Amino acid sequence: MAIKFYNTLTHKKEDFEPLNPPHVGMYVCGPTVYGDAHLGHARAGIVFDVLYRYLKHTGYKVRYVRNITDVGHLENDADDGEDKVAKKARLESVEPMEIVFHYMRLYHKNMDALNVLRPDIEPQASGHIPEQIEMVQDILDSGYAYETNGSVYFDVENYAKQHDYGKLSGRKIEDLQSNTRELSSQSEKRNALDFALWKKASHQHIMRWKSPWSVGFPGWHLECSVMSTKYLGDEFDIHGGGMDLLFPHHECEIAQSTAAQGKESVRYWIHNNMITINGQKMGKSLGNFITLDELFAGTHKVLEQAYEPMTIRFFILQAHYRGTLNFSNEALQAAAKGLKRLTRAYYAINKLPVSEKSSLDITAIRDKCEEALADDLNTPIVIAHLFDAANLIGNIQNGKEQISGTGKLALKETFETYAAGILGLDFEEKEQNKTQDKLKPVVDLLLDIRLQSKKNKDFATADKIRDELKASGIVVRDRKDGYDWEIE
């Protein structure tokens, strides 16, 4: 089956054909590590995690590179913009690298909790200064950059004469020019659209490296062009990131790579959309910014409760990655319940009664899941099919449908492949299961007694046992001639 992805560059769904099958190179813009990871990071992390898992599932050998931006990302594009990491370091009176490692660890911790797999390579910009200097030189050599006072800028106007600057973001250079503010008289740039490839460090700027032009630091856009091609080759398959990076970041990447090597690097640009809160984009300036730690702990003022990482993951995957996703407590609570239902269905599979033959076609569910994933990674449809499967499981439990031993295995395998393997929904509540195992003899004993009481119509005792267990967090559900229980 042909896999289709929406390519931002061509504005349409395209068949995915890797350059060197079975190998696939995939680069995704990672975080700038100067602050807590938030819901937006979760979405990008999860979306591309599912893409990564899916490509591997279909048999590709994927090299997944996701960078850590730890230098060069300025507060703004003005000439006096301060490096984000350096600023944070200054404010907290620590080394920039302390900031970098602190937030990188936090990011990893949060992503691990969301069951986001680590990329194969996670390069840091600060570890690739020589390569970045080399690329600046290449761009200078190609004539698409100029040096002013120790800084090097990309010459957008000149580049646009030969190439299409704005092709990715759908912008026209004339519009961009008419919309940019006037250059200040002190500016080193020839044109307001030009962006920095290398900047000379002011004397208070602490993150600095030697280069042929000055002691300074690389421009933000450069690192991605450099590190993607270093690890994936001059040309590679997929470049991902949030839609907010489309312009200028990714547009500049295209320009840089084209200028430096005479051709574009990226074949498929894939962008995830934003998360909104009450219809508005999440942003620091808007004060509606929710970090993942706050979300997991329920400590932000807009949160009615804490939410499990898996609930967040499920919530995000219930929407297609290219649409905006609106956050609300109601929506997250609904997601939590839906996920619980799927989890219960999964655990019920083992206990299903086996019949001679199956009245169900499990392969049809598998096929539909495959089809949905191949159609631009349509995770909400996959989830809808998993709910169909959950429905079947309920019907088998109630004796309305029959399933054979092999059917049962197929059902289990479907959940494991699609829900757990590709969507990355981690059904295993490890700690809880351990407790559950330890308590099993005790709880079973009580429930055996309760069963006997029920037979003797001693409902007072039966209810007392159920109520007491519930008070200690154990929920009992009666089955025909038996019971189920779980720790809530």
Partner RNA sequence: GGUACCUUGGCCGAGUGGUUAGGCGGUGGUCUGCAAAACCAUGUACGGCAGUUCGAAUCUGCCAGGUACCUCCA
Q: Does 347 bind RNA (CB under 7 A)?
A: no
Between 214 and 378, name the residue whose CB sits nearer to RNA. 378
Q: Which of 261, 397, 417, 436 binds RNA (CB under 7 A)?
A: 397
Cα–Cα distances (Å) from 368 to 265, 290, 373, 378, 417, in that order, read 34, 35, 9, 11, 13
Secondary structure class of 441 (helix, strand, coil): helix
Could you say which residues in the range 463-482 bind RNA, by CB under 7 A?
463, 466, 475-479
Between 260 and 336, name the residue whose CB sits nearer to RNA. 336
Between 130 and 323, name the residue whose CB sits nearer to RNA. 323
User: Kind of pairing, strands 236-242 and 266-272?
Assistant: parallel
Q: Does 77 bind RNA (CB under 7 A)?
A: yes
> Rounded to the nearest whole angstrom, what is the least distance from the CB of residue 249 to RNA in the complex?
5
> Rounded to the nearest whole angstrom, what is the least distance from the CB of residue 7 to RNA in the complex?
15
Q: Does 170 bind RNA (CB under 7 A)?
A: yes
Between 137 and 193, name the residue whose CB sits nearer to RNA. 193
Q: Does 4 bind RNA (CB under 7 A)?
A: no
Q: Which of 31, 96, 218, 407 binds RNA (CB under 7 A)?
A: 31
**Contact characters 171-190, RNA, x per CB under 7 A:** x---xx--xx----------
**Contact characters 114-153, RNA, x per CB under 7 A:** ----------------------------------------
Secondary structure class of 2 (helix, strand, coil): coil
Could you say which residues in the range 305-334 bind RNA, by CB under 7 A?
318-320, 323-326, 328, 330-331, 333-334
Q: From CA 118, how far away is CA 424, in angstroms rounded?
A: 13
Question: CA 374 from chain center: how many Å?
Answer: 18
Q: Contact at 8 Å (CB) between 270 and 7?
A: yes
Query: Residue 403's CB: how many other CB atoms inside 10 A?
Result: 24
Q: Does 300 bind RNA (CB under 7 A)?
A: no
Q: Which of 59, 182, 185, 279 binds RNA (CB under 7 A)?
A: 279
Q: Which of 143, 380, 405, 473 binds RNA (CB under 7 A)?
A: 380
Q: From CA 156, how far away is CA 475, in angstroms rounded?
A: 65
Between 261 and 276, name the residue whose CB sits nearer to RNA. 276
DSSP designation for 427: -
Cα–Cα distances (Å) from 395 to 85, 247, 349, 403, in that order, read 56, 50, 12, 10
> Rounded to the nearest whole angstrom, what is the least distance from the CB of residue 266 to RNA in the complex?
15
# of chain residues touching RNA (CB under 7 A): 90
Query: Residue 176's CB: how many other CB atoms inside 10 A?
Result: 19
What are the tokens at 469? 């267990």
Q: From CA 432, how far away is CA 310, in angstroms rounded?
A: 15
Could you say which residues in the range 398-417 bind RNA, by CB under 7 A?
398, 400
Q: Which of 8, 32, 158, 214 binds RNA (CB under 7 A)?
A: 32
Q: Does 394 bind RNA (CB under 7 A)?
A: yes
**Contact characters 150-169, RNA, x per CB under 7 A:** -------------------x
Cα–Cα distances (Å) from 203 to 100, 148, 215, 230, in that order, read 21, 17, 10, 31
**Residues in Cβ contact with 315 at an 8 Å cutoff, skipping those fewer than 6 apart:** 325, 331, 332, 335
Q: How many residues are listed for the chain in this entry?
A: 488
Q: Does 433 bind RNA (CB under 7 A)?
A: no
Could you say which residues in the range 35-54 bind RNA, by CB under 7 A?
38-41, 43-44
Q: From CA 376, how far away is CA 388, in angstroms rounded?
A: 21
Quote the crossing angle between the two packed helices 362-374 and 405-414, to the nearest 10°.
20
CA atoms within 13 A on the CB side of 306: 8
Q: Which of 363, 391, 406, 432 binds RNA (CB under 7 A)?
A: 391
Could you say which residues in the range 223-252 bind RNA, by CB under 7 A?
241-249
Partners of 486 in the beta sheet?
475
Segment contacting RNA (CB under 7 A): 31-39, 202-210, 304-312, 439-447?
Answer: 31-39
Q: Which of 148, 355, 395, 436 binds RNA (CB under 7 A)?
A: 395
